[in-house]
Structures are given as structure tokens and as C-alpha cells.
Chain A
């Protein structure tokens, strides 16, 4: 019989720093944040013992006890007990305790230790405890618990070798006899013991250095807190527009130069047109938005890593309760501003199933980063770059309004859904607020790099393919002399057909054309417009030289542009989101519902915007 590899499992309360410890021990790359519920999926990695022997390390969802209240906690219990399908019973349990929260974390720890399995304790985040003025005595804790206690700081890689050595040692020791004679310990008794052990392990404690308490005083202040949150969010959106400009201009210049170079060096042919109008104009027009996407993700990742995200959930809870949701839904919804896919996946930490379904259904209305290129190009072309106040530009203000429109729409829909299709008891809001933490530059840089890479890969693969396909559809069949190339093409014929439906809401042929490939990825709308105008203008030297923004200005009216923006606030323009919603709701019923209501909403919103703008004399 061949020997199975040793399995070790990381077990502990939420916010004990398990994920960070897991990363440090295995070198695996995953998202680290310190709001509860980040560890949801089974995560396994390879840890090397001092002998060089590999151990399979499993990171389990944070849990408050073996008596479970959520699907996450159920997974933890099953794995520990060896009941989880497809997961060998762990040989060694690594209990992760937050040093500054010992009294609390020792309650669950006792429950796990009572099982009598080989166990090692990682006394994690000792640096934060020291910052809080708490000096601990690991030896005293070790004596009280009867298992090895190793002080660790996952983010600084402190204590990792010692922990690996302790895991090896615990595995080689026989299982401690399960103390059957010991009477069943009740929760209050465990809590009392936890208090005694924690008190004994604390050498000195000064209360005044609790930085997070002082920060909460301001950030959770009933009157100061919400305005700070809104001001912060407003700054984020202003920054996305203004900080990115120099970088975006540089990329834009580079793309134009590349196009000119190709035009100058390659003899005129259809292939050259494919390269310049299709590839360079199309992919380049999306690439320009990389700086904005990086800036937006920088703020979201920072909020998660510092612990402010959970405060935002606290501040938003009352508002969310108004539409039948809880502050817990705020975290997935805010993530959806970057991308609805991780947002929908983050709903797994919502315990109430109806709550969770509602959050999934409204998540696509949060303005994701893929919509940013569409908004940005239209706003830059049609909204004058004037100041409406100190530091507040009109363009940024319009962008902010588009985000607000999505939020308000989502809230109204949630309100309606909670009273109809997802009716149920009002859900509560119980959530631990993690300690504030300085994000490490490395984790932040890694997270940003991952986002940037995903975006570039999309630009290089999906957006490239769709753009080239569109260019081919736009160029064939070839137009007769004197006929418009776009109208003659396959794509033009399709769009002209669709226009019949979309004309009443102000869409012209090119707009109808743009929203078809945008189903693959929203930002493709921009490259589609760029390719379409490059194709139709290629006979006219003056027009061909115009930037996309100027092209739009010469062909669209302001009401049309606004209707296009309104469409993109609501339209379910992303197949990946639909696919992930199907996976998370186990069927096509809810994604189909989502598609139907979002298209209806987009159509109504675009139509209303168009006719209101016409009536207001903006056309």
C-alpha cells in the first residue's frame, strides 16, 4: 500500500489571518482581504516540511464553531471530521488564532482540541497585537492548551519554518487519546476557560494604543462616517478620470503612432486596412483605458486590505435594509464596480438564500470597469470639460451620475424583487468588523498586476478576435462604387434590421451595430465604433484622420449619446456574467430572468433619456 501524502488543514475563526498564512506557507496566489467570508472555496497548496517532504495544506473557511450556521462553516466541520467528499481527513490540524483576539478565538479552539487530533496552534498576527500594546506569553498558552504554540506573522513571513517543523512533529506523534472520561463541556464553560487562558497568556496590556478604535471613532461616527464614505467614493471616481489622463494620452499617442507607422511602411491593401482599422484602431481604443481600470482597482483593493470595506458595509446597512438587503450585500456590490463576476462569487458569504439571490440579480447593474471605456469615450466626446466647482469637473460629475443611476436602479429593483419573486423574512446583519491594517505594497501590487493582466489578456484575445471578426463582417461583401461600405456589409445589414427595434430609443445604425459584439465584453462597443468609423471613413482622408471622439461628435447628437450611456447603465452586456450567475444559482431560470428584466430596463431607460433630452431642447 502506497503511503498517502500528509494532509494538514488550517482552521480558525474568520479574520484570524488564515488566508494570509496559507499564502505565506504555500506560495499560492489568491486574493487576500480582511473582511469576513473571503475564504469560501476549498483552497489547497503544497507546504514543504523541513525534511523536504511535501504536505497538502488545505485552507478552510473561517468558522465560529463546529455547530454550523452557514454552508461555509459546514464545509469546515465536514473536513475536520473527515466527512467531506473528495477530501482526505486531515492528519494535522493547524489552529490559527488572532493574537489580539485570543479570548474569542480560544472558544472555537477548545472545541477543535477536544477532538484529540494532532494539532498545532499558530498564534498569528503577533505584530498587530504588539502594536495594540499586547504582550503575549506563548509558553503559558502552550501549557494551558497542551499543544505546541508557534507565534507567526504571515505577512512578514515570521515563524513559518517553526510552524512547518511543528506540523512535522505533530504528525509523527500518535494521536492523543480522546478524553472520553471528560464530561461534555458547554459553551459558557468554554468561554470561561477561554477567558482564563487568555488572561494567563497576556503578559501586559495597555489599552491606549488601539489605533483601530480611534479610527472607528471617526470613520463610524454617526454624522461624520457616512459623509466621509461618500466623499471617499466621490474622490475615487474623480481620480479615475483625472489621474489617468496623462497615461491614457500617452497610450493613445503610441497607438496612433503605430497606426501611422503601419500606414507608411505597408503598401495599401485590404490586409493593411485590417491591421490599421481592425487591429490597431480596435484593440488600441480599449487599451487606452488600462490606467483608469488600474486606478479603480487600486482603491477597491486598498479598501479590502485595510478593513475599511467592512466599515462601509456597516455604514451602508441601514440603506440596504430599506430595500430588504443587509450591509453584507454591500461588499459583493462594491466588488461589482470592478467586475460583476467576482462580485457574484462574493455573495457566497451571505447566509440568507433570498438575500443572496437578490444580490446576484442586481449585481450587474453596478457599473463595472468594462463599462468605463464606453462611458469615458462618450463623455469625453459630448460633455464639455468645464469646472462646475472647485476640483469638480463636469465630466467627472456626469460619470458619477451614471454610477449613481446604476445604484439607484439596483436599489429600486431590489425593493421590488424582495416584495415579489424573492420574498422572505427580512434578513439580519451580524458581522465582525476586522481590525485596521496597513496593506502590504507587495499584496497590493500583486492584486493590481492580476487585474491588469486579466484586462490585457481580454484585450489581446477576446477583444482582438471580436474586433477582427467585426472588421471582416463590415468589409464583406464589398460595396459597389458609390455605395456606403457599412450598409453593404453583413454587419450593416444585421444592424439595419436591429435598428427597427432600436430607432424609437434614438439609436442609429452604428449604435445598434456596436451593441451586438458588446455582448461578448462591454468595452468592445468602443472598439466596434472605432472600427466601424475607420471602415466607413477610409475613403475620405479628412474624416479618417479624426479621432474617435471627433467622429462621434460629427455623427451623433447629444440625446443619442445620452441614450447610449443610459443603455449601458442597465443592459446585461456580458456573457461571462450570465454564465457565472447560472453557475451560482444552479440553473437557467434566474439568469434568464436577469437577462429579460435588464434588457427591458435598458430599453426603457435609453428611450426615456432620449425623448427627455429632445424635449429639453438638447438635440
Chain B
């Protein structure tokens, strides 16, 4: 599943990113923010208007806003949550 399909609040790991689908500068910006293969992310918020865009992604202690087009290029694997 891609990052935009991830249920809100479910921790996941970015399995792969199709960098070719993104503009080079934006790809670099995403990488610089840590949105790269192997990163642990949680989808925090979705916009309410058409397309439910943009998305707010939690990575570490940081919250980053991205567009759905960016999320579409990222394949994620949900991480089974340890019993609290």
C-alpha cells in the first residue's frame, strides 16, 4: 500500500520510494526531511477538501506536510504495534 492509503495513526515503515515519479528537487527535499526508504512514519492528518490533500506525516518528533502526489510514490508496510 502507498503512504496516502495508510490509516491515520498506524505506524509504518517506508519500504520503497519511486523517486522517478517525483520532481528531482522535491525528491531531494523529501529525502532531506528523512522521508526515505526505511523511515518510520505515521500519517497524522489529512486535508478535508477534495482529494484529502495535503497530508501531515509524523517522522520522529517532527511533523511534515506533504502532498498526496508525494505519498503516492511511497510504498509503506504497517508495523505491528507491540501490545501496550
Contact = CB atoms under 8 A, between A and B. Distances in A.
Contacts of A226: 48
Contacts of B66: 428-430
B34 to A, nearest CB: 6
Interface in B10-47: 23, 25-26, 28-34, 36-39, 44-47
Given A67-B28, A104-B34, A223-B48, A431 B64 contact: yes
Interface in A195-242: 210, 216, 220-223, 225-226
Nearest to A434: B63
B56 interface: yes
Given A191-B34, A222-B47, A318-B49, A430 B64 contact: yes
B58 to A, nearest CB: 8
A220 B44 contact: yes
A351 B47 CA distance: 22
A428 B56 CA distance: 14
B38 to A, nearest CB: 7
Contact of A100 (B56, B59, B61): B61
Contacts of A220: 44-45, 56
Interface string A79-110: 00000000000000000000011011001100
B36 A69 contact: no
Chain A interface extent, by class = 35 or more
A600 interface: no
Nearest to B52: A222
Contact of B26 (A225, A327, A428): A428
Contacts of B64: 430-433
A430 B36 contact: no
Among B25, B26, B45, B70, the most chain A Cβ lie within 10 Å of the Cβ of: B45
A359 B70 CA distance: 23
Interface of A: 64-65, 67, 69-70, 100-101, 103-104, 107-108, 132, 187-188, 191, 210, 216, 220-223, 225-226, 310, 313-315, 317-319, 321-322, 327, 351, 425, 428-433
23 contacts: A64-B29, A64-B32, A65-B32, A69-B32, A100-B61, A103-B61, A104-B33, A187-B36, A221-B45, A222-B48, A225-B48, A226-B48, A314-B45, A314-B54, A317-B53, A317-B54, A317-B65, A318-B49, A319-B49, A425-B23, A428-B70, A430-B64, A430-B66
